[in-house]
Amino acid sequence: MPFCVAIDGPAAAGKGTVARAVASEFDLAYLDTGLLYRATGAKTYEGLSPIDAAQSLTADDLARDDLRSGDAGQAASRVAAIPEVRAALVDFQRAFARRSGGAVLDGRDIGTVICPEAEVKLYITATDEVRARRRHAELIASGEDVSVEEVLENLRERDERDSARAAAPLIPADDAMVIDTSDMTIDEAVKIVAQIVSQAMAARV
């Protein structure tokens, strides 16, 4: 029977790291839905319209090595505000969420739009300053020359754009459990989420 774990939250809150770890621990398929939008945004730099980019997305596009850059993140946020782009990617995400064997999806509208009937719904967040430091460390490690202040400004701009958009805004599902990772290590956050998933699985037996 399909079992879906929906993990939403803003950039650099830790949701991707937690989602991958939990998927591995419970042998569930994992989808970083943000990659779909990052890849779509990246293709717009090649001259495609956002809608055409979304409709022509392939597995190779998701394997690009530039999808974790700051530019890709900003492009993802811009194209994600376009209803036609979101519509083009919804079916893929929903099919993945209900695949045999279960799945973990992380993004910004998994628990509210993509899989509102998910067995586990979480909203992982952290303070702006903590998220900026985390993202700054990632970008520096990947070779980008950027200040913490610039990263913080970009994160806040993206948060505002993602939260204010008419199509699937970044908000917690009404029944999502909110987890603030500001003062947690990754291991602590993973342990908490794993306990929640384990309890939900046991309740279905």
Torsion of CA 4, 9, 11, 15, to 10 degrees: -40
Sorting pLDDT into bands at 50, 70 and 90, what band is 102?
very high
Q: Is 102 annotated as a binding residue?
A: no
Report pLDDT for 74: 86
Q: Is 17 annotated as a binding residue?
A: yes
Q: What is the pLDDT of residues 47-66, one digit of tens each?
A: 999 999 999 988 789 889 88
Most confident of 9-13, 54-58, 176-180: 176-180
Q: Is 191 annotated as a binding residue?
A: no
Give the residue among 142, 149, 19 at the shortest CA–CA distance from 72. Answer: 142
| Alpha carbon distance 181, 101 (integer Å) | 28
Give the residue among 159, 68, 57 at the shortest CA–CA distance from 108. Answer: 159
Report pLDDT for 68: 83
Range from 66-70, 75-79, 198-202 carrying the lowest mean pLDDT: 66-70
Mean pLDDT on 82-111 = 92
Q: Is 15 annotated as a binding residue?
A: yes
pTM for this predicted structure: 0.85
Most confident of 24-28, 69-73, 80-84, 91-95: 24-28
Per the structure, how many domains does the chain have?
A: 1
Mean pLDDT on 64-79 = 87
Q: What is the pLDDT of residues 158-174, one digit of tens each?
A: 899 888 888 788 899 99
- CATH code, 155: 3.40.50.300
Write out the chain in H/E/C secondary structure: CCCEEEEECCCCCCHHHHHHHHHHHCCCEEEEHHHHHHHHHHHHCCCCCHHHHHHCCCHHHHCCCCCCCHHHHHHHHHHHCCHHHHHHHHHHHHHHHCCCCCEEEEECCHHHHHCCCCCEEEEEECCHHHHHHHHHHHHHHCCCCCCHHHHHHHHHHHHHHHHHCCCCCCCCCCCCEEEECCCCCHHHHHHHHHHHHHHHHHHHC
> Is it the case that residue 69 has pLDDT exceeding 90?
no
Structural domain boundaries, residue 148: 4-204
Report pLDDT for 104: 97
Q: Is 16 annotated as a binding residue?
A: yes
Q: What is the pLDDT of residues 25-42, one digit of tens each?
A: 999 999 999 899 999 999
Report pLDDT for 62: 86
| Average model confidence (pLDDT) across the chain | 93
Report pLDDT for 77: 86
Q: Is 50 annotated as a binding residue?
A: no
| Alpha carbon distance 37, 57 (integer Å) | 10
Q: Is 14 annotated as a binding residue?
A: yes
Q: Is 116 annotated as a binding residue?
A: no
Q: Is 43 annotated as a binding residue?
A: no
> Is it the case that residue 1 has pLDDT exceeding 70?
no
